[in-house]
Amino acid sequence: MDLLSAWPLPDGTDLRDRLLAAYSDEARGYHDTTHLAEVLGRLDELARHGAAYDRTPVLLAAWFHDAVYDGERDAEERSAAWAEAELPGLVDGHLVHEVARLVRLTETHRPEADDPSGCALSDADLGILAADPARYAAYVAAVRVDYAHVPDDVFVEGRAAVLRDLLSKPHLFHTAYARDTWEAPARANVEAELTRLAAP
């Protein structure tokens, strides 16, 4: 995907370029420009298969959702705050609020059933869980890079907790297409990773 042309606002290309610079930080592992492109691509895929969502705020939220990512706490909150600081003047106040709300939602990936924009963004962000085995393995390795500052035992404990939390959800995905297409392979990937983490 051409990220330059995927920016949803006619104006604000300076902001787009600063966001791209953040995602291009060489210290990043998974949460980089490839991840951004994949999320935007999955949003297009969901739309092609019947998912209805408010395009502009969802695309902007996709751009901002990992704008801040350093392996520390509250990255989603800091990303939402960046959106709240940068978007006024480019879009109206209601849209700023909606983008920030959607960014914050990516911390838990638990949108309400009557929140189609939240459901679409959450599904696009978690769609990596349904990747083929080679891509999933690359994703897992890249996540470890994002947390390179964390000792192995602490990382394994934290990662396992994240995976168990995902598996505890009634469903990982919220749109009909994602549930039909991504749910089964995603659960299989997550369960297999959890088993690997538990191995001596």
Confidence at residue 75, expressed as pLDDT on a 0 to 100 scale: 92
How does pLDDT run across 45-89, given as a tens digit for each residue? Answer: 999 999 999 999 999 999 999 999 877 789 999 999 999 999 999
∠ CA 168-35-67, nearest 5°, is: 95
Helices (H), 87-115: 93-105
For the chain, list residues with pLDDT below 70.
none
Question: What is the span of the domain harbouring residue 109?
Answer: 3-198
pLDDT of residue 129: 98
Instruction: Report yes or no on whether pTM surpasses 0.75.
Output: yes
CATH code, 157: 1.10.3210.10
Model pLDDT, residue 72: 75
* Per-residue pLDDT, 98: 98
pLDDT of residue 1: 78
Number of H helices, E strands in the chain: 10, 0
Give me the count of residues in the chain: 200
Burial class of 169 by CB neighbour count within 10 A (0 to 12, 13 to 18, 19+): middle
Q: How many domains does the chain have?
A: 1
